[in-house]
Amino acid sequence: MADPQNTPDATLYRLSLYHCYLGELLRVGAPERITSRQIAEELNIKEETVRRDISFVGDIGRPGAGYDPVLLYAEITKFLGLSEEYPVIKVGTAEMLQALQVVFPSEQYGVKPVAYFSELPEDAGAVIGDLTVRHLTDIPRLDPELNARVALVACSPGWVQITLDLLSNAGVTGALLLTPIIRLRKPEGMSVTQLRMPCDLKSLACRCRVSAGAVGTR
């Protein structure tokens, strides 16, 4: 098995994609075997890329026989350093946190929220699931025994930098940022992944306009 620290970022991303896909298969009833070709076709990835990515995880499948989905899922879980209840922190208003739980039910994706924080003082004390929302100024008092190293941040733009700095100081080393902010000072030692929906929408609108223009000129 290769060391994840020496694995290309693109491979790590695709392995997480395979992990999510296999998790969905297992929830609905996976076949006894699955091939790299099937995975490639479902995810629109080259078959040789799938095989090469999985080779980083270990010698799991047999040529021509495919993979045991349960075993492959378990081995990728181990390689990515995950568990069935990987602890995450979520930051946003109580309304946003509740909405995220609807569109992204954590328990279905192998992660477990262990702390909720909101930028709104009036949200403090609200209960979502079995967790009580705290104001984000309480982040420095995050219990280190939770072993939470990753946060999902969906607060308003004005609170993003403060939130990331507080999380970094509390020992969080990774953040998935949903807030559409463009300029950002990344805390030292923290990995930040941003989803920039306005930019994505603009580029999508441009592609659709170009596509429509191409059709119109035929």
Name all domains of the chain by residue range, CATH numbers in brackets. Answer: 4-79 (1.10.10.10), 86-199 (3.40.50.720)
pLDDT at 175 (0 to 100): 95
pLDDT band at 122 (very low <50, low <70, confident <90, very high): very high
Euclidean distance between CA atoms 132 and 126, whole angstroms:
6
User: From the centroid of its chain, how far is CA 23?
Assistant: 14
Instruction: State the chain's mean pLDDT as an integer.
Output: 87
In the predicted model, what is the mean pLDDT of residues 98-119?
85
Residue 166 to residue 215: CA distance in whole angstroms? 50
* Structural tokens at position 118: 């909101």
Confidence (pLDDT) at 93: 95
Asked if residue 85 has pLDDT above 80, the reply is: no
Q: Which of 142, 145, 83 is nearest to 115 (CA)?
A: 142
Q: What is the DSSP letter of 205?
A: H
pTM to 2 decimals?
A: 0.73
Distance CA(134)–CA(124), nearest Å, equals: 5
pLDDT band at 159 (very low <50, low <70, confident <90, very high): very high
Residue 217 has pLDDT above 60, yes or no: no
Nearest C-alpha neighbor of 16 from the set 46, 56, 48, 62: 56
Q: Given this model, what pLDDT does residue 88 score?
A: 93
